[in-house]
Amino acid sequence: MSWDALFSMQGHGPYLLGAYGVTLALIGVEAFVLWRRARARRAARQAQPGGGRP
């Protein structure tokens, strides 16, 4: 598939771009949620007495 066909407003190009966009957005959301969860777990572990690394 050529770039012209992908970015044209005729045919399936907009649907493909939309599908790739949604997929990348969902991957980004998942990475952000996992990062926040890891930060929260690390903070909770360090808040416990003796939970931090020596």
Q: Which helix (H) or strand (E) holds 4?
A: helix 3-7
Extents of the domains making up the chain: 3-47
Backbone angles phi, psi at 7, to 5 degrees: -95, 5
Q: Are 4 and 10 in contact (CB under 8 A)?
A: no
Which pLDDT belongs to residue 1? 67
Which pLDDT belongs to residue 38? 95
pTM attached to this predicted model: 0.67
For 1-54, write each residue's pLDDT tens digit. Answer: 677 776 777 877 788 888 999 999 999 999 999 999 999 999 888 888 775 555
